[in-house]
Amino acid sequence: MTDELDFNVDSTPNVLIVEDEPRLREMLLHALPDMGFTGAAAKSGEEGIKIMEQSPHQIVILDLNLPGMTGLEFFEKIRADYPTTQVVIVTGFGDLETAQKAIQLNVADFLTKPCPLGELEDALDRARRRLVDPDKKPMLEFATEVPAPPDAEERGAATLQEIERDHILAALRRNDGNRNATADELGISVRTLYYRLKEYQDQGYDV
């Protein structure tokens, strides 16, 4: 199955929440209408697949730590069967391998628990824009062969956002600040690189 979900700018996207924590699942489900979305919820990947088969959703909010089918296994299934569906990952701490796999699967955004609703709304808005413009590159995209920062293990577990930031800034240093060379190494567009560097600059990082 390779369902293409039609979507236009005037449509209201359907959002599927796949989260095994009952209170968080219900909180997210109740918050969706205020953000301009309609939604459904599943407590496992298997249940999420059944919902998608009955009524395909354009956006998925996905927890990676699920019982039974893992979040990444669910993501792989969604990407194969519903290639235009946008996936926003909401998780705790991740590792480099997880981040790389999610980026390979064309993730729309990463969020770290506990996640403020404002950040989730921003991520859903980015996913909505990617539905309208399917050729738009994800904000989080870099080549899987880029090595991990040398001090990553010493600093302990990092969030997925931190892993992404460390990779991008390390590549920038390796290329002596050359944006074009850095974008080529990371396998992303120069525009995407500039967007991320601006974000890091706003956070106080020297770029």
Q: How far lies 137's CA from each of 2, 104, 162, 191, in Å?
A: 20, 12, 20, 9
In angstroms, the CA 24 to CA 66 distance is 13
Pairing of strands 109-112, 86-91: parallel
Q: CA nearest 83: which of 56, 47, 51?
A: 56
> How many Cα neighbours within 13 Å face the side chain of 49?
18
Spell out, as residue ranges, where the chain has pLDDT lower than 70: 1-11, 93-96, 133-161, 163
> Helices 160-174 and 96-104 meet at what angle, rounded to 10?
90
Model confidence, pTM: 0.64
Collect all residues with Cβ–Cβ distance below 8 Å to 151 and sequence separation of at least 6.
none
In angstroms, the CA 157 to CA 83 distance is 31
Please, what are the domains in the chain? 14-132 (3.40.50.2300), 152-202 (1.10.10.60)
Question: Could you report the per-residue pLDDT of 31-90, keeping only the tens digit for each?
Answer: 999 888 989 999 999 999 999 999 999 999 999 889 899 999 999 999 999 999 999 998
How far the first Cα of the chain sits from its last, in Å, is 44
